[in-house]
Chain A
Amino acid sequence: MTSIELITYVTFSYLICAVVYLLACISTEQESGFRSGALGLLIIIWCVHTFAIGLRWVESYQMGIGRAPLSNLYESLVFFSWCIGLGLILVRMKFRTDIVVLIGLPVAFIALASTSLLDPTIKPLIPALQSNWLVAHVVTCFLGYAGFAVSFVAACLYLISRGFNSLEPYLPNQRLLDEIVYKSILAGYPMLTIGIITGAAWADYAWGSYWSWDPKETWSLITWMVYSMFLHARLARNWKGRRTAALSVVGFGAVLFTYFGVNYLPGLHSYF
C-alpha cells in the first residue's frame, strides 16, 4: 500500500472517530469506558497517521529523491492535521475535557479531506527548497499553529458558554476553558518564535536576506505580534475571560491568513 492510499484511509478513520466520539459524549458520563475507548481509537488512528507520514518519507528515498514530507501544500496539510491530532490528544490527557477533542476532530478530518483536492505525487525539490532548515522551519511553525488551533477551539467554546446560558451546562467549566486558551498559546508561542527564527536563518542562506518583508514573513510576524499582545494582556494587564478568548480568535484568524491567505498575494512564498 502506498502512503497516499494509507492517508485516504486515515482521513475517513478520523471522520468515523469523530462520530464515535460524539456518540460516546452524548450517551455516557465523563470518565466512562466508552469515552476512553473513543480516545483509544483516536490514538490508534493518529499512530497510523504517523506511520503514513514516515512511509511517505521512505518512499521518497525509494524514488531517488530522498526528502522529508513537508514541502508542498499536500504534505503540509497532512502534517498540520497530524499536529492537530497530537494537540487534541495532549489536551485531552492533560485537561481531561472531551469536548475540545469533539470539536477538533472534524477540523482534523476537514484538513486531511481537503488534501484530496491536491496533487499528492512526490515531486523532487527545486534548489531553493533543498535545505535542512526546511524541516526545522516547517515543523516548528506547524506545531505552533496546532497549539493556536487548540486555543481557538477552546476560545470558541468559552465564548459560546458565556454567550448562551442554555448551552453552558453541556460545556466544560469556563475556568478550565480559559486555562486551555492560555496554556495552549503558551505552548504554541515559543514554537512559532523558533519557526520564524529558523525561517529567517534559511532565508539568509538562500536569498541573502534574513527578512525581506515578503507577505508570508510579514503575516507570520503579525501573527506573532497578536499572540505577544495576548500574553502581555494576560500576564501583565491581567486580562481574562472573554477579552483573551476574543484575542485568541483574532490570532487564529491571522494564522489562517498566514497559512492560506498569503498565497493570494504576490511574493516568494507562493509555491503553487
Chain B
Amino acid sequence: MNHPKGPILDGSMVDSRIKDEGARKEQSVLSDIVSFFTSVRTTIVILCCLAIASILGTIIPQNINLEDLRRTASPFYFRIVVILDLHNLYRSWWFIVLLLLLTSNLLGCLLQRLPKIPKEWRGAADKGSVSFHRSDSRPIHEVKGMLTESVSKLMNKNPTVVEGGEATELVWVKHRIFLLGFPLIHIAIIVILIGGLIGLLYGFKGNIQLREGEVGNRFVLYPSGAIATLPFDIAVDSFTLTRYETGQPKEYRSDVVILKDGKEELKGPIRVNQPMTFEGISLYQANYQVVGVKHVRLSVKGVDGAEEEINIRPGEAIPLPGGELQIKLASLDPGTTSRGARVEIDVERAGKQDRVVKVFRNDSDPAKVEDAKIRFLGYEPLYATGLQIGYDPGTVFVWSGCGLLIAGFVIILFTNLTAVSIRLTQGDGRTKIRVHGRSRRDRAQFREQVEATIRESLGKSSSGA
C-alpha cells in the first residue's frame, strides 16, 4: 500500500494533538493553553504575524525623530505611534511579545516530542512502512540464526538481542543520530532568540570621533544620543587612507592604543571588516573626516634662484629669504575648482601682519611675496576617525545557536535512519515471525529490500500467515 505521506517524515511527527483529542473528555482552559503552545498550527500563525510585522517595519520609516513627528502628524496618529512604537518596531513591546510567544511555542513542541525519542533510539519501528508476519516450521533458535545472519548483512551491523520468556527480539538501528536533527534545529532557534534578547537588554552601541593624536573615552550612545563613558581610553596614533587610481577609497584604517589608567593594554590597527575587541567591547572602523591640516608643503624661491621645499605646520612661523618677512598658515581650502586646493598665508613683518597671500595648487605661476616666489605643492590632511562601538553579550549564544542549526541541517539532510525489528515467538509448534521496519527516506526501496532478504533467507519452508 502506498502511503501518501511526506517523503521525509512519517506519522510520528504529525500533530499528535489530533489523536489525543478523542481521548480527552474535558476541555479545560489549561489543556487548551497547553495545546496552543504545543501546536504547529500556532507556529505557522506566529510566523505569519512576525512576517507581516517585519514587512511593516520596512515600509514605515524607523528610528525617526519623534519630536519632528509630533509637530507634523495628527495627534491621533502620534498617539498610535507612541503606543505601538511604530518607528522603533523591532524593539517594540509587542514585537518582543511575539518573539517570546514563538520561543514558548518552540519549547512546548520540543518538550512534547523529546520524550518519544528514547523509544525510537532503541529501534522501535512499529510505525514504519515495513510490517508483515510469517510463520516457519523450524525451531525458534534456528530461525533466529538464519534471520540474524541475513538481516545483519543487509543492515551491515549486528542486532541487539533481547531474549524474553516468551519472545525473542532482534533489533537493528542505523544512523539514529537522525533523531537528534529536528530537536537540534529547534533548540538552535531558541538559543538564537535568547541571544538576541540578551543583546537587546544588556548590549549597547555607539560611536566616537577622535582626531589623530587625540585620546578619548566619552562616546555617543545609539539610538538615544546620550553621552556615555568607556571603561578604557582610546588613543589614536594615526589614520591612514589609501585610494585606487580612480579616486575611490581602497583602504582606511586607524592605528590605536587602548589605555587603562595610563597603561598601554592593547595596540594595533582597526580596519573596515577587521574590528578590535577589548574587554568584550568592539571597535569598528566606520568613517572618517578631514578636520585640519598636519602640514603644508611649499616651495620657496629666493632672489638668488635657489628653490627650497619647506613643510609648514599650523602655528609655525617660517622666515622668507631676505630675512625681514616670515609666513604663517592662515587657512586651507581643499578646493573644488580647476585651480585646485588653496592655501592662505599670513605674511608678517616684524611680528605684525603685513598682508595675506592666496596660493592655488594648480596655478602655473607662483605667488610673489616681494622677492620670494611661493608655490603650493600639497598638504597632509589631519583626519578624525569615526569608530563605532559595540557591546553585545548575546553574540556567543547567537553564534552557538547558528552552529547548532547548521549541525541539525547536516544531520537531517545527510543521514537516513533505518531500523528493523523482528519478534520471534513459539506457538502451535511453529515459530511466529513478526517484522517491523522503518526508513526515513526511500521507503519503498527499503521495504522491498527487507522483504526480499527475509523471504530469501527463510527459503521455501515458511509461509506467510
Contact = CB atoms under 8 A, between A and B. Distances in A.
A209 B273 contact: no
B141 interface: no
A41 interface: no
The CB with the most chain A CB atoms within 10 A, among B58, B244, B398, is that of B58
A218 B54 contact: yes
B13 A235 contact: yes
Interface string A123-163: 11011101101000000000000000000000000000000
B50 interface: yes
Given A182-B7, A205-B275, A127 B250 contact: yes
Interface string A230-272: 0011111110100000000000000000000010011000000
B350 interface: no
Contact of B388 (A200, A208, A219): A208
Nearest to B250: A124
Contacts of A228: 47
B371 interface: no
A19 B217 CA distance: 67
Contact of B252 (A127, A131, A211): A127
B44 interface: yes
Contact of A236 (B15, B50, B389, B409): B15
The CB with the most chain A CB atoms within 10 A, among B6, B248, B392, is that of B6
Contacts of A3: none
Contacts of A16: none
A225 B244 CA distance: 41
The CB with the most chain A CB atoms within 10 A, among B41, B51, B389, is that of B51
B8 A235 contact: yes
Interface string A202-216: 101111111101010
A182 B6 CA distance: 9
A71 interface: no
Contacts of A266: 61
Nearest to B109: A236
A222 B51 contact: yes
B274 A221 contact: no
Contacts of B58: 215, 218-219, 262, 265
A226 to B, nearest CB: 6
Contacts of B251: 127, 130
Contacts, number: 120
Nearest to A219: B58
B40 interface: yes
Nearest to A228: B47
B337 interface: no
Contacts of A229: 44, 47-48, 51
A168 interface: no
A238 B248 contact: no
A194 B58 CA distance: 23
B44 A207 contact: no
A128 B272 contact: yes
- What is the interface of chain B mostly: helix, strand, loop, or mixed? mixed
B273 A205 contact: yes
Given A232-B40, A265-B58, A127 B275 contact: no
Given A124-B246, A228-B47, A238-B14, A222 B55 contact: yes
B113 to A, nearest CB: 10
Nearest to A267: B58
Interface in B241-285: 244, 246, 248-252, 271-275, 282, 284-285
A179 interface: yes
Interface residues of B, number: 55
A174 interface: no
B402 interface: yes
Contacts of A183: 7
A192 B99 CA distance: 21
A197 B7 contact: no
Contacts of B271: 127
B47 A208 contact: no
A130 B242 CA distance: 14
B30 to A, nearest CB: 23
Contacts of B250: 124, 127
A235 B8 CA distance: 8
B154 interface: no
Given A127-B251, A204-B395, A236 B90 contact: no
B413 A237 contact: no
Interface in A160-214: 179, 182-183, 186, 190, 193-194, 197, 200-202, 204-211, 213
Given A208-B205, A218-B58, A238-B14, A127 B272 contact: yes
Contacts of A209: 205, 390, 392
A64 B62 CA distance: 40
A237 B406 contact: no
B101 to A, nearest CB: 14
B117 interface: no
A211 B203 CA distance: 13
A185 to B, nearest CB: 12
Contacts of B131: none
A183 B413 CA distance: 11
Contacts of B114: none
B381 interface: no
A128 to B, nearest CB: 6
Contact of A213 (B8, B43, B90, B392): B90
Contacts of B406: 193-194, 197
A190 B388 contact: no
A231 to B, nearest CB: 10
Given A124-B246, A208-B390, A211-B196, A226 B51 contact: yes
Contacts of A211: 196
B108 to A, nearest CB: 13
The CB with the most chain B CB atoms within 10 A, among A123, A232, A235, A265, is that of A235
Contacts of B51: 222, 225-226, 229
Interface in B156-170: none
Given A207-B388, A213-B57, A124 B284 contact: no
17 contacts: A128-B272, A130-B272, A190-B413, A193-B405, A193-B409, A201-B399, A204-B395, A206-B273, A207-B286, A208-B389, A209-B392, A211-B196, A215-B58, A218-B57, A219-B55, A219-B58, A237-B14
Interface of A: 123-124, 126-128, 130-131, 133, 179, 182-183, 186, 190, 193-194, 197, 200-202, 204-211, 213, 215, 218-219, 221-222, 225-226, 228-229, 232-238, 240, 262, 265-266
Query: Closest 5 CB pairs between A and B?
Result: A208-B390, A127-B272, A208-B284, A236-B40, A215-B58
